[in-house]
A and B are shown apart, each in its own frame.
Chain A
Amino acid sequence: MLILKNIVKIYNAQKTNEVRALRGVDLEIKDGEILAIMGASGSGKSTLLHILGCLDRDFEGEYILNGKNIKQLSQKELAMIRNNEIGIVLQNFGLIENMSVADNIAVPWYIGREKDKELSKKTAELAEKLGIEDKLKTDISELSGGQKQRVAIARALIKTPKLILADEPTGALDKENSGQITEILAGLNAEGYTIVIVTHDPEVAGRCQSVVRISDGRVEGK
């Protein structure tokens, strides 16, 4: 489903502040797999996640997602892939303040400008699945960390994407909430979602089928 071939990413190439974030990454992730990417800060994890999430196509190498070569797609096509085929759970939740939980979950729909009479039903179902059904009208600022992460996961699922990318999903949570969120992600994987988690947490990584370690821009093993 997802193949990375010799990915090289250099920031500020040929300048004094040049950073070689990725130095030839090869990776293959199969449908239905749950994979953890681990590594120290500055090792290239975030860059890899951005490439996986089609946020960046300015790299060397080849990235094939569901048979499509990402580098050959236009910005608009990439945006459509991000909107429809990938669900991203951002570090520190990435929720929009001053919007209700329901609206936050529905943001990918608002971006896609698609009309769906079932949207509110879908939102309610996801909220129920993640245990936040009583918070739909609540403002984001009134939620706890664990509840916010549930909202972020619900938002990632609203367009029923095949691939879920999670950037440090438990990074801002206590142990109890971390465990619950890990369970949720594992449960989603059991439903057939392909999940890639960037994490520092060995417990989260321990729940994944495979773990990739990145060091100095290189994959050290899977």
Chain B
Amino acid sequence: MRRLIKSNISDRFGAYAGLAVMLSIMFFVTQYLLGGLLPLRHIDLAYRRMGLENAVSVTAEAGQGDLIKKYCQKTGGKYLGASFIGKYTADGFAFIQPVERDYFDNLNYRIKTRKSPETGYSAVVVSSLGGYYELGQTYSETLTGREAASIEFTVVGVLSDDCVYITPAADTPSSVVSEQENYIFIIVDESDENFSRRNLYGALGNDEFISRLNNFEDIQHAERTSGFEENRSLRLEISGLMIVLAITSAALCAAGIMSNSLLSMAQFRRKYAILFTLGATRLKCAAIQLLTDVIPHLCAIAVYLMLTILLKEFNILKTTPESAMIGLLEMFLIFVFSEVLAFLAAKQMPKISAEEEENAHT
């Protein structure tokens, strides 16, 4: 039987090579697309790392600090006021948010950062006016507040208009570094061209509080523009795209495998009829067909998985395990389905000739 399988594989060698090329191209196309999407994923991670996963920023009219304070009292939120963590630059253009030592370790995709050897901390600008900071440029800014100080930094990565990465200066004030709080409201006056400390309010609260606050008529025109909502919608969007890509990838892979099985059966139809005549059972013909295709198919899938896992920069199993697993599961199911079809068809194959011959003549 080994020789018969070997003969089949030899006959199908070209097709298997084609399948391998198709899977490889598909792999790289998919990974290229995923590569384009991964920065979005990193924005998601960035918000999470900055502790803004559950934060909401709301824009409101200026001078509403007392109102917010009142609402906080009414709804059980904690008014933070001026004690909001982080520092604004003196001109109000940027809010410098401290981050932890390993912050950039989790964002190393395509963005190479340097850590401050002295402080061991990095920094990130989480709010700036869009386009103010340009990639690769070095800026010197003065921080406001009691711990006012100057920092110099270079923009080493841009996530979005209001979120850029910077290298920290050696003299970054240590007071900038502090613990993040959950449920932070950053309420600023959008009518001002620059961010202004006087319009910055902070509050702590839970989701219900956020919801109730948003319903107050006095700030009903407020926009929930960043933090939690943006993060959540972004995450959904990314996950959706990832899943679509994973499904497309798996479907293409399965289509290749299935078409290969069908072509293989068509090609070997006559051969199985001969083998049946010479004493092979239908089951044996089907087994030969199954083994002929299963071996290269499993090899192709193994190579696909290996590439997916080993190419760390594109490791979708790590970044979006759910979509990768859905894709794999789907691929496996279609693979099993196609092989079962091939098996059943191969079992029926030898049942030809006499009836066909007689029918052809009558």
Contact of A19 with B357 in the complex, beta carbons under 8 Å: no
For chain B, residues 5 to 23, give those with C-beta under 8 angstroms from any C-beta of chain A. 7, 10-11
In the complex, which range does the number of interface residues on chain B fall in?
Answer: 20 to 34
Contact call A79/B280, Cβ cutoff below 8 A: yes
Question: Across the interface, do B274 and A82 meet the contact criterion of CB distance under 8 Å?
Answer: no
**Is B306 positioned at the interface, with any CB of A under 8 Å from its CB?**
no
Let me know if B353 is at the binding interface, CB within 8 A: yes
Q: Which residue of A lies closest to B357 (CB)?
A: A46
Partner of A46, one of B2, B10, B279, B354: B354
Indicate whether A94 sits within 8 Å of B279 (C-beta atoms), given known contacts A11-B359, A50-B353: no
How far does the Cβ of B309 sit from chain A's closest Cβ, in whole Å? 36
- The distance from the CB of B241 to the nearest CB of chain A, in whole angstroms, is 45
Q: Is the CB of B282 within 8 A of A98?
A: no
Q: In the complex, what residues of A have CB within 8 A of residue B354's CB?
A: 21, 46-47, 49-50, 55-56
> Does A172 count as interface, using CB distance less than 8 angstroms?
no
In the assembled complex, A178 has its CB within 8 A of some CB on chain B: no
Give the number of residue pairs across the A-B interface with Cβ within 8 Å. 89
Which 6 pairs between the two chains have the least Cβ-Cβ distance? A83-B279, A42-B361, A50-B354, A82-B279, A79-B281, A46-B357
- Chain B interface mostly helix, strand, loop or mixed? helix
Which B residues lie within 8 Å of A46 (CB)?
353-354, 357-358
In the complex the two chains form, is B11's CB within 8 Å of A98's CB?
yes
Residues of B within 8 A of A17 (CB): 359
Output the nearest chain A residue to B5 by Cβ-Cβ distance: A110
Q: Per-residue 0/1 for B345-362: is the Cβ within 8 Å of any A Cβ (1 yes, 0 no)?
A: 000000001110111111
Within the complex, the shortest CB–CB distance from B269 to chain A, in Å, comes to 13
Whether the Cβ atoms of A82 and B277 lie closer than 8 Å is yes
Whether B278 and A155, one on each chain, are in contact in the complex, defined by CB atoms closer than 8 angstroms, is yes
B271 contacts the other chain (CB 8 A) = yes
B233 to chain A, nearest CB (A): 58
A84 at the A/B interface (Cβ < 8 Å)?
Answer: yes
Q: Is the CB of B278 within 8 A of A108?
A: yes
The chain B residues found within 8 Å of chain A, CB to CB, are: 1-4, 7, 10-11, 271, 274-282, 284, 353-355, 357-362
Among residues 34 to 85 in chain A, which have CB atoms less than 8 Å away from a CB atom of chain B? Answer: 41-42, 44, 46-47, 49-50, 53, 55-56, 75-76, 79-84
Residues of A within 8 A of B281 (CB): 75-76, 79
Please measure, in the bound complex, the distance between the C-alpha atom of A28 and the C-alpha atom of B220, giving whole angstroms: 101
B3 neighbours in A (Cβ, 8 Å): 99, 103, 106, 110
Is B359 a contact of A88 with CB atoms below 8 Å? no
Q: Which residues of A contact B (CB under 8 A)?
A: 11, 17, 19, 21, 41-42, 44, 46-47, 49-50, 53, 55-56, 75-76, 79-84, 88, 90, 94-99, 103, 106-108, 110-113, 155
Contact status of A19 and B275, CB under 8 A, knowing A50-B354, A110-B4, A111-B284: no
> Is A94 a contact partner of B277 (Cβ separation < 8 A)?
yes
What's the minimum C-beta distance from B95 to chain A, rounded to whole angstroms? 72
Q: Kindly report which residue of chain B lies nearest to residue A93, judged by CB atoms.
A: B274
A81 / chain B contacts, CB cutoff of 8 Å: 279
User: When the two chains form the complex, which single residue of B274, B278, B280, B358 contacts A11, counting CB atoms closer than 8 Å?
Assistant: B358
CA separation between A97 and B275, bound complex, in Å? 13
A99 partner residues in chain B, CB cutoff 8 A: 3, 7
A96 touching B359, Cβ below 8 Å: no
Shortest distance from the beta carbon of B354 to any chain A beta carbon, whole Å: 4
List, sorted by A's number, 11 A–B pairs whose CB atoms are closer than 8 Å.
A21-B354, A21-B358, A55-B277, A55-B354, A84-B279, A96-B271, A97-B11, A103-B7, A107-B275, A108-B278, A111-B275
CB B58 to nearest CB in A, in angstroms, measures 73
Further 4 A-B residue pairs, CB within 8 A, beyond A98-B11, A111-B279: A55-B277, A107-B4, A108-B279, A113-B1
* Closest Cβ–Cβ distance, residue B107 to chain A (whole Å): 55
**Residue of B4, B7, B278, B355 ringed by the most chain A CB atoms within 10 A:** B278
